């Protein structure tokens, strides 16, 4: 005979708001109606099972929701630790009842919130435990559940406030069926459910049934007791062999509960265990830097939570003065190892350090298909990274964003390089997961490694002149030291009249390579040959009659010469940016795009070759000026490791933020007109 625990609603009321259902319902319940509805449920269950009662207590209006008392398996009771103080008073009464009724009571550490059978539902064949987290219970509690119950725990993340407990949107039924409302869960949880429950056994609820608490049902053998179900749901349940018994529980729904919430099943037998128990995965991370004043700490915490994990701050030392660094150690918890690795990769990207587990080498997997990495490959970021191979740390050569790390450990010392996916060869070994990896965030001129995401600054118009002064100073310093500055530029430079200034910068030796697309070259050449840009006279800002043809005539004439350098040699091109490049032996790379006219002979329409050409010219760059080309600037940003000073100038703050927001402390964003910027810069340099 099945056994249930219930608690009469003598003191039931909505007297506080701890879930969205309670809003607007304070003191709006009818005690008489609640008692009547509860009694009917009680009587119904009694026809199928034994019901035991725990004494209700004044001042604890939610106590009738006995499902939240704890979780039972055989003779073990894991006592709930309520998240909200309003319900914490219930704990002692439930603990006493469990102890008095022969259960061994397990108590979670303080702050490890867990709300009992409201958030933990046994698969009806006892193959595993489904456990919810995200609103009331903490993911960390699942570790204790699997340890104490010796059961596989499958963690499901709840993402809709209305379904704050797992039992409000998820109901395992006998014969392996599951009734649930998928939109209450995040995508990985929905995938996990689909992996475990075959489609023919999944009964998917409509929103209407879900908000009528159809999932909050008590399943005894082939009976399903619930508040209300739509006709299609009833038919679905009937087809699956269940008989639906509706009993109105509207008073309890005002507090966010229904049939299942009002009961706790006491006889949960166990099936013999099969196989190993995958448990929730954890790893410690370390952060160092200006964690508070630059919002890094909250950013890290958000990243963990958004990705479905949870954290515990193990240690935090706040720097006491403005220049002091803060340090933190966080324990990150994820539902499984794969999701933990995903979260750790995100955290490494924002600059977290994984304390190296000194005994762990990087996990390597072999490439099986040309140009395709193993599924769990580690995706690189801009930070200098080291990989542990055969007990030794190796720096990654050619570090860049969005690559894979290839390890050749047949040779000593091993060779560790960053490679693009398309360059991967069958048989190469690629780093997978996050073990045996560490990233170094060394800031120029500083001894300590520092964690500084978004240390990059984005300047508004008012600060432009000041920033230009600093850039000019740095450009002069680099030129005098024989350094390398690369300019990435879009055609707006020409439209805004900045072409002459950029040409002057090249002539004066401030630029060592130029990257762009077809357009900057075409517009610059048109400007040099006809004085117009897309047919507009730049001196007067007026369209020129027939000027629209200048653009294509330019392309045609340069094509006739065989290229830009030839146009210079043949005297067709006598000024402008590209003229200065040819004259000053400043190499340039033009990457093609689908919107290109012509193109010019130099424009590389094979994008892989264009990327390679960009990469070559970027090698050894110390500063990159990105001038009003979103496409090419982002492309270049992805190829550039940390440590290179980036200056991004664009009129659109979103573009500037996107580029400055890549974790590099060395980047400066300037929101302004590029023509104005170039003229200010030149003026500074000529002062």
* Cβ atoms of 236 and 171 closer than 8 Å: no
Question: How far is residue 49 from each of residues 41, 206, 248, measured CA to CA in Å?
Answer: 12, 30, 20
In this structure, the number of other CB atoms found within 10 A of the CB of residue 141 comes to 28
Give 409 or 596: the residue with its C-beta nearer to ligand NAD.
596
Window contacting ligand NAD (CB under 6 A); options: 224-232, 239-247, 259-267, 627-635: 627-635
CB of 559 to ligand NAD, least distance (A): 13
Identify the residue among 274, 595, 686, 687 touching ligand NAD (CB under 6 A).
595
- Which 8-state DSSP code applies to residue 673? -
Window contacting ligand NAD (CB under 6 A); options: 410-418, 428-436, 591-599, 614-622: 591-599
- Which 8-state DSSP code applies to residue 397? B
258 binds ligand NAD (CB under 6 A): no
In this structure, the number of other CB atoms found within 10 A of the CB of residue 525 comes to 26
Long-range contacts from 457-460, C-beta under 8 angstroms, 24+ separation: 457/660, 457/668, 457/669, 458/653, 458/656, 458/657, 458/660, 458/668, 458/669, 458/670, 458/671, 459/668, 459/669, 459/670, 459/671, 460/671
Total residues binding ligand NAD (CB under 6 A): 23
Task: Measure the CA–CA gap between 381 and 359, rounded to whole angstroms.
Answer: 24
306 binds ligand NAD (CB under 6 A): no
Window contacting ligand NAD (CB under 6 A); options: 228-236, 478-486, 490-498, 537-545: 490-498
605 binds ligand NAD (CB under 6 A): no
* Cβ atoms of 67 and 118 closer than 8 Å: yes
Quick one: which of 660, 661, 618 has its CA closest to 636? 618
Give 227 or 604: the residue with its C-beta nearer to ligand NAD.
604
Widest CA span in the chain? 102
Give 354 or 649: the residue with its C-beta nearer to ligand NAD.
649
CB of 548 to ligand NAD, least distance (A): 12
- Phi then psi for residue 160, to 5 deg, are -115, 120
Known catalytic membership, residue 390: no
CB of 616 to ligand NAD, least distance (A): 18
Identify the residue among 596, 602, 612, 661 touching ligand NAD (CB under 6 A).
596
630 binds ligand NAD (CB under 6 A): yes
Identify the residue among 490, 499, 637, 663 touching ligand NAD (CB under 6 A).
490
Question: What burial letters (b/e) apply to 438-449, b meaning 16+ CB within 10 Å?
Answer: bbebebeeeeeb
CB of 520 to ligand NAD, least distance (A): 6
Give 333 or 532: the residue with its C-beta nearer to ligand NAD.
532
Q: Which token pair is 284? A: 């410690």
CB of 496 to ligand NAD, least distance (A): 5
CB of 507 to ligand NAD, least distance (A): 22
Identify the residue among 491, 576, 635, 669 touching ligand NAD (CB under 6 A).
491
Residue 544 exposed, middle or buried by CB count within 10 Å (0-12, 13-18, 19+):
middle
496 binds ligand NAD (CB under 6 A): yes
636 binds ligand NAD (CB under 6 A): no
656 binds ligand NAD (CB under 6 A): no
Identify the residue among 137, 650, 662, 670 touching ligand NAD (CB under 6 A).
650
CB of 138 to ligand NAD, least distance (A): 43
641 binds ligand NAD (CB under 6 A): no
245 binds ligand NAD (CB under 6 A): no
Quick one: which of 106, 109, 108, 112 has its CA closest to 133? 112
- The residue assigned the tokens 């050749």 is 408
Check whether the bond before 502 is cis (ω within 30° of 0).
no
CB of 227 to ligand NAD, least distance (A): 55
Q: Which token pair is 530? A: 């006809």
CB of 631 to ligand NAD, least distance (A): 3
Q: Classify strands 404-408 and 415-419 as parallel, antiparallel or unpaired.
A: antiparallel
* Cβ atoms of 333 and 277 closer than 8 Å: no
385 binds ligand NAD (CB under 6 A): no
Window contacting ligand NAD (CB under 6 A); options: 362-370, 511-519, 571-579, 605-613: 511-519
Task: Measure the CA–CA gap between 467 and 484, rounded to whole angstroms.
Answer: 20
CB of 390 to ligand NAD, least distance (A): 45
Q: Which residue's Cβ lies closest to ligand NAD?
A: 517
Which residue is catalytic, options 7, 169, 215, 261? 261
Residue ranges in 667-686 that form contacts with ligand NAD under rule CB under 6 A = 673-674
Non-local (6+) Cβ contacts of 649 within 8 A are 625, 626, 627, 628, 656, 670, 672, 674, 677
492 binds ligand NAD (CB under 6 A): yes
Give 122 or 520: the residue with its C-beta nearer to ligand NAD.
520
CB of 382 to ligand NAD, least distance (A): 21
Which residue is catalytic, options 7, 135, 142, 165? 165
Tell me, rounded to whole angstroms, the distance of Cα 48 from its chain centroid. 48
30 binds ligand NAD (CB under 6 A): no
638 binds ligand NAD (CB under 6 A): no
Give 237 or 589: the residue with its C-beta nearer to ligand NAD.
589
Known catalytic membership, residue 261: yes
Identify the residue among 597, 606, 609, 619 touching ligand NAD (CB under 6 A).
597
- Phi then psi for residue 507, to 5 deg, are -60, -35
Alpha helices in 76-118 (DSSP H): 85-88, 90-100
Non-local (6+) Cβ contacts of 358 within 8 A are none
545 binds ligand NAD (CB under 6 A): no
Residues with a catalytic annotation lie at 165, 261
Residues that bind ligand NAD (CB under 6 A): 490-492, 496, 517-519, 522, 593, 595-597, 628-632, 650-652, 655, 673-674
């Amino acid at each position: 005979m099945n056994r249930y625990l219930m608690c009469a609603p003598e003191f039931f009321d909505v007297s506080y708001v701890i879930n969205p259902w309670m809003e607007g319902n304070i003191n709006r319940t009818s005690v008489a109606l609640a008692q009547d509805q509860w009694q009917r449920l009680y009587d119904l269950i009694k026809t199928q099972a034994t019901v035991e009662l725990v004494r209700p207590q004044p001042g604890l209006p939610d106590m009738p929701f006995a499902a939240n008392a704890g979780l039972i398996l055989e003779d073990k009771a894991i006592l709930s630790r309520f998240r909200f103080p309003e319900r914490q008073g219930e704990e002692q009464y439930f603990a006493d009842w469990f102890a008095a009724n022969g259960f061994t009571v397990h108590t979670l550490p303080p702050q490890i919130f867990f709300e009992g059978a409201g958030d933990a539902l046994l698969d009806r064949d006892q193959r595993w435990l489904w456990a919810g987290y995200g609103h009331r219970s903490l993911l960390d509690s699942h570790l204790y559940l699997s340890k104490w119950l010796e059961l596989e725990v499958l963690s499901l993340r709840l993402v809709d406030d209305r379904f704050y407990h797992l039992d409000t949107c998820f109901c395992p039924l006998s014969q392996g069926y599951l009734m649930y409302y998928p939109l209450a869960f995040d995508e990985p949880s929905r995938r996990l459910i689909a992996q475990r429950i075959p489609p023919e056994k999944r009964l998917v609820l409509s929103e209407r049934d879900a908000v009528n608490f159809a999932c909050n049902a008590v399943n005894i053998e082939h009976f399903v007791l619930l508040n209300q179900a739509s006709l299609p749901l009833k038919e679905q349940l009937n087809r699956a062999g269940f008989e639906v018994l509706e009993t109105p529980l509207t008073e309890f729904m005002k507090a966010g509960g229904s049939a299942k919430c009002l009961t706790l099943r006491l006889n949960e037998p166990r099936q013999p265990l099969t196989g190993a128990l995958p448990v929730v995965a954890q790893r410690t991370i370390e952060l160092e830097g200006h964690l508070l004043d630059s919002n890094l700490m909250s950013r890290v915490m958000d990243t963990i939570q958004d990705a479905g994990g949870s954290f515990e701050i193990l240690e935090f030392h706040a720097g006491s003065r403005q220049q002091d660094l803060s340090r933190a150690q966080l324990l990150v918890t994820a539902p499984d190892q794969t999701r933990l690795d995903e979260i750790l990769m995100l955290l490494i990207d924002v600059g977290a350090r994984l304390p190296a587990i000194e005994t762990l080498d990087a996990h390597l997997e072999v490439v099986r298909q040309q140009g395709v990495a193993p599924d769990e490959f580690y995706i690189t970021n801009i930070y200098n990274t080291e990989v542990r191979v055969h007990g030794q740390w190796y720096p990654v050569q050619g570090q860049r964003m969005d690559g894979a790390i290839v390890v050749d450990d047949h040779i000593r010392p091993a060779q560790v390089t960053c490679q693009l996916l398309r360059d991967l060869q069958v048989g190469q070994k690629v780093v997978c997961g996050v073990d045996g990896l560490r990233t170094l965030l060394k800031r120029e001129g500083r001894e300590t490694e520092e964690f500084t995401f978004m240390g990059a600054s984005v300047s508004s118009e008012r600060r432009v002149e000041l920033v230009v002064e600093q850039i000019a100073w740095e450009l002069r310093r680099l030129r005098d030291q024989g350094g390398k500055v690369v300019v990435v530029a879009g055609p707006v430079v020409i439209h805004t009249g900045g072409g002459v200034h950029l040409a002057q910068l090249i002539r004066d030796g401030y630029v060592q390579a130029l990257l762009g697309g077809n357009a900057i070259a075409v517009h610059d050449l048109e400007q040099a040959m006809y004085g117009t840009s897309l047919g507009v006279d730049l001196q007067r800002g007026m369209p020129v009659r027939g000027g629209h043809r200048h653009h294509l005539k330019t392309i045609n004439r340069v094509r006739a010469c065989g290229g830009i350098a030839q146009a210079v040699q043949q005297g067709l091109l006598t000024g402008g940016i590209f003229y200065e490049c040819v004259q000053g032996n400043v190499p340039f790379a033009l990457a093609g795009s689908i919107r290109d006219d012509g193109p010019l002979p130099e424009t590389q329409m094979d994008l892989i070759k264009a990327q390679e050409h960009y990469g070559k010219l970027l090698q050894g760059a110390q500063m990159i000026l990105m001038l009003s080309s979103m496409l090419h600037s982002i492309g270049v940003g992805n190829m550039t490791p940390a440590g290179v000073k980036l200056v991004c100038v664009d009129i659109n703050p979103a573009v500037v933020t996107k580029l400055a927001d890549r974790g590099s402390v060395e980047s400066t964003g300037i929101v302004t007109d590029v023509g104005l910027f170039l003229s200010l810069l030149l003026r500074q340099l000529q002062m």
